[in-house]
């Protein structure tokens, strides 16, 4: 089975801190995603990466950055945490859509519930 | 732009009764459709997908979904609900020719199965 592991289940950080959320997948997937989940809003894409060192902004990238130095690891960085970044953060991975594998589903980690105080 | 609508924030059903969680979508081309389930304080688990072929798709835990192109719907169904099915359910769509980043999720439907 695909396993996507997020480094923390729960985090509490102070306003202005730099926050790192780590995600590791063990299935050699090319694509990795960071989503933010808020009640009534579903999942919103923050950043997407389709290869090492390659990234694309999602729908809500402001206040966030990402790093993908190795294929299996995708990090989300909150440069200066603010209270409106209190949320559930979900990492996911999937196979590349190149080569005809366009119909693959995404596999999710268990989520990190971040509270910024 | 593509979109997904889950018109019901909350669905309640008695254990043993059939359940339906509704989803409608909008894409410019052919859709790939997905259902995910989320248990409290957990990530999303994949349930089933429609890519092509038979309009009735069977998935995990006895769930199935029916693709209806004319109504642009992909409703999730189960013939006999269990209390353990209580969870948050998300429908998602991506255009078949689109990239992986273009996966759009609905706002979710909270299913409660009453004993």
Please state the three-class secondary structure of B67-110 as a single string.
EECCCCEEEEEECCCCHHHCEEEEEEEEECCCCHHHCEECCCEE
At A4 the pLDDT is 95
Average pLDDT over residues A24-32: 92
Which candidate in B21, B36, B100 is best for mutational testing of the A interface (most A CBs within 10 A)?
A: B100
Residues of A in contact with B41 (CB under 8 A): 9, 111, 113
How far A15 CA lies from chain B's nearest CA (Å)?
A: 23
Only one residue has tokens 């889950």, namely B6
At A49 the pLDDT is 94
Q: From B42, which residue of chain A is nearest by alpha-carbon distance?
A: A110
Only one residue has tokens 């080569």, namely A99
A108 touches chain B (CB under 8 A): yes
At A101 the pLDDT is 54
Q: From B48, which residue of chain A is nearest by alpha-carbon distance?
A: A105
**Of A23-37, A46-60, A85-99, B47-61, minimum mean pLDDT range:** A85-99
Q: From A56, which residue of chain B is nearest by alpha-carbon distance?
A: B101
At A86 the pLDDT is 98
At B24 the pLDDT is 98
Q: From B96, which residue of chain A is nearest by alpha-carbon distance?
A: A102
Spans of chain B below 70 pLDDT: none
User: Given a cut of 90, is residue A117 above it in pLDDT?
Assistant: yes
pLDDT in tens, B12-28: 999 999 999 999 999 98
B95: Cβ contacts below 8 Å, ≥ 6 apart: B2, B27, B28, B29, B30, B31, B32, B102
User: Given a cut of 80, is residue A10 above it in pLDDT?
Assistant: yes
Could you tell me what percent of chain A has a pLDDT over 90?
A: 77
Query: Computed from CA positions of residues A97, A98, A101, A102, in that sequence, does the dihedral angle turn out positive or negative?
Result: positive
Give the span between the Cα atoms of B9 and B1, in whole angstroms: 23
CB contact under 8 A, B46 and A94: no
At B43 the pLDDT is 87
Give the span between the Cα atoms of B104 and B113, in whole angstroms: 27
CB contact under 8 A, B101 and A43: no
User: Given a cut of 60, is residue A99 above it in pLDDT?
Assistant: no
How far B10 CA lies from chain A's nearest CA (Å)?
A: 11
At A100 the pLDDT is 54
Mean of pLDDT over chain A:
91
User: Given a cut of 80, is residue A45 above it in pLDDT?
Assistant: yes
């Amino acid at each position: 089975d695909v396993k996507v592991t997020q480094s923390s289940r729960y985090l509490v950080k102070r306003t202005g801190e730099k926050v790192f959320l780590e995600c590791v997948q063990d299935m050699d997937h090319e694509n990795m995603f960071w989503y933010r989940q808020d009640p009534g809003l579903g999942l919103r894409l923050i950043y997407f990466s389709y290869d090492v060192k390659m990234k694309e902004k999602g729908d809500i990238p402001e206040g966030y950055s990402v790093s993908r130095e190795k294929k299996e690891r995708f990090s989300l960085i909150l440069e200066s945490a603010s209270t409106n970044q209190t949320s559930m953060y979900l990492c996911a991975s999937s196979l590349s859509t190149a080569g005809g594998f366009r119909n693959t589903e995404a596999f999710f980690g268990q989520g990190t519930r971040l509270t910024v105080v | 732009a593509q979109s997904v609508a889950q018109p019901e924030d909350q669905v309640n059903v008695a254990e043993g009764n059939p359940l339906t969680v509704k989803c409608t979508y909008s894409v410019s081309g052919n859709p790939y459709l997905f259902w995910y389930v989320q248990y409290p304080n957990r990530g999303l688990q994949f349930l089933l997908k429609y890519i092509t072929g038979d309009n009735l798709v069977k998935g995990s835990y006895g769930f199935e979904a029916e693709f209806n192109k004319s109504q642009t719907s992909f409703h999730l169904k189960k013939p006999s609900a269990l209390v353990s099915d209580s969870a948050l359910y998300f429908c998602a769509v991506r255009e078949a020719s689109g990239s992986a980043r273009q996966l759009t999720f609905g706002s979710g439907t909270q299913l409660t199965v009453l004993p």
